[in-house]
Amino acid sequence: MSLKLEQVSKQYGSKQALQNITLTFQTGVTGLLGRNGAGKSTMLKMLATISTPTAGNILYNGINIVRQPNEMRRALGYLPQDFGIYPNMNPVEFLEYMAAMKSLSMKPAKKRIRELLEVLHLSDVRRRAIGGFSGGMKQRVGIAQALLSDPAVLIVDEPTVGLDPEERIQFRNLLTALSPDRIIILSTHIVTDIESIASRIAILSSGCLAAYAEPEQLLQQAEHKVWECIVPGPQLQELQRKFKLSNSIQRSDGIYVRIVSDIQPVHGANAVAPTLEDAYLYATSKLEAVR
C-alpha cells in the first residue's frame, strides 16, 4: 500500500502554495511538519481529493486519484483542522448521521459505532450532547467519524490544537495504536506531537519540501550544528538576526541561548546533541539558504 505525490504543485492566483513536491507515504505514521502557512493543509486537501493539483499527479496504489478520486475516497478517513460537530447531537446520533452521509449500510455501521465508542473511551458519554464535551473528547468523536469505514488511509490535520497536555498524549497514543495496518498522515506545527510516534517526517517550508526522512536521519543531519552559550541581554538581538535560535532562557548570569548553525556562532559556544526541534530548524534553514 502506498500513496505518492509526483512533482505536485498548487497555485492560487499568484501565490505558489506548493512547489514540485515528490514523496511517498507508506504504512505507519508520517508526520507532516511545518509552520502555519507552509502548505500542509493545501497538501492534505489534495490527498483527500477536496482540491486538485495545478500540476503533477497523486497516486494511490498506482491509481491516479486526480483522475479517479473515488478510489481514494473509498479508502480515506479524514479529520480536517476545522472539523465541525453538531453540538445538540450525542455521539451515537452524530456518528449514525455521518455513516448515512458516507452511504454506509446502517446495520454494520451501528456495530462499528459501538466498537469505536468503546475503543475511544466514549461509551459512557454516548448519550450526552457533544456541545458539552472537552476539546479532547470532541477530537475523539472526530476520529471516530474518520474511522467509520475502517479506512486504509487516515489523514488528521492539526488535531491537537486546543488540547491540554494529557489529551495530546492520549491522542498520540491512539494514533500509534491505529498505525500498524494503515497509512496515517499527521499534520502539525508542533514538533513534540510527532517525535515519539512518526516513523518518517516530511518538513514543508514555504510550499517546498525541506526534508523527508526518518527522525534518526534528521537528527544525524543536525549533528554538530547545535550550540549552547550564555550571552548578555544586548547581544541577543544580534544573534537573532544572524542565526536560528531554538531556545533562549533568562537567568541571573545572562541569557542561555541554543543556536542552530553550521559554524560556531560565538566564541565559547559549546556543541550539543540536537533535538528534533533543532533538526527541523536546521532543515528549514538549509532550504531558505538556497532559495
The pLDDT value recorded for residue 276 is 94
Over 90: is that where the pLDDT of 198 sits? yes
89 residue type, one letter: M
State how far the Cα of 23 lies from the Cα of 14, in Å rounded to an integer. 25
The pLDDT value recorded for residue 212 is 96
Sorting pLDDT into bands at 50, 70 and 90, what band is 80? confident
The pLDDT value recorded for residue 196 is 83
State how far the Cα of 291 lies from the Cα of 286, in Å rounded to an integer. 9
Task: Supply the mean pLDDT for the chain.
Answer: 91
Mean pLDDT value of segment 226-241: 91
Q: In 3-state terms, what secondary structure has residue 44?
A: helix
> Which helix (H) or strand (E) covers residue 284, if one does?
helix 276-290
For residue 167, report the phi and psi dihedrals to the nearest 5 degrees: -65, -35
The pLDDT value recorded for residue 290 is 60
Q: Which domains are seen in the chain, by residue range?
A: 3-218 (3.40.50.300), 220-290 (no CATH)
pTM of the model: 0.88
State how far the Cα of 201 lies from the Cα of 222, in Å rounded to an integer. 15
Over 90: is that where the pLDDT of 195 sits? no
Mean pLDDT value of segment 105-121: 92
Query: Percent of the chain scored above 70 by pLDDT?
Result: 99
| Range of lowest pLDDT (51-65, 104-118, 161-175) | 161-175
